[in-house]
Amino acid sequence: METLWALGDALGVPFARLVDEDVEPVTLIRAADAPLIRSASADYVAALLSASPPHARRDVYLIRADPSGPKVSAPHVRGTVEHVILVSGSALVGPEAAPVELSPGDYLSYPGDAPHIFDAQHEGTTAVLISEVR
């Protein structure tokens, strides 16, 4: 997963465009059928729920993570902003130098074009992550 993200960042191409298929007008993804992208560096799984269509610049992910140390992300394309809504569990999220502890229902927005982390503090932590390029 990290290699594809780095490749996309180097090329200025959002990660989702490298892994997503064509999108139909109405899309239903059952939780059990979501395509999973696993991190090699942490117990962190992302399911791309909605890739940004051409000329729009946002992707929506469902994150599932267990405590295993932080998922550290290198800076994405300049102008990237990430939005996280924690659904269950708790996690330290945000800028690598100043992460914030989130509880269910909390919302956090932070620069995605700087190093950032997602560090689950409880088993079964889930979150919705929206990545946008401004």
- Quote the domain boundaries for residue 44: 2-133
pLDDT digits (tens, 9 = 90+) for 54-84: 776 889 999 999 999 999 999 999 989 899 9
Q: What CATH number does the domain containing 23 carry? A: 2.60.120.10
pLDDT band at residue 23, thresholds of 50, 70 and 90? very low
pTM greater than 0.75 (yes/no): no
- CB-neighbour burial class of residue 87 (10 A; exposed 0-12, middle 13-18, buried 19+): middle
How many domains does the chain fold into?
Answer: 1
pLDDT band at residue 9, thresholds of 50, 70 and 90? confident
| Interatomic CA distance for residues 33 and 13, integer angstroms | 26
Q: How much of the chain is in helix, strand and coil states, percent to nearest 5?
A: 15, 45, 45
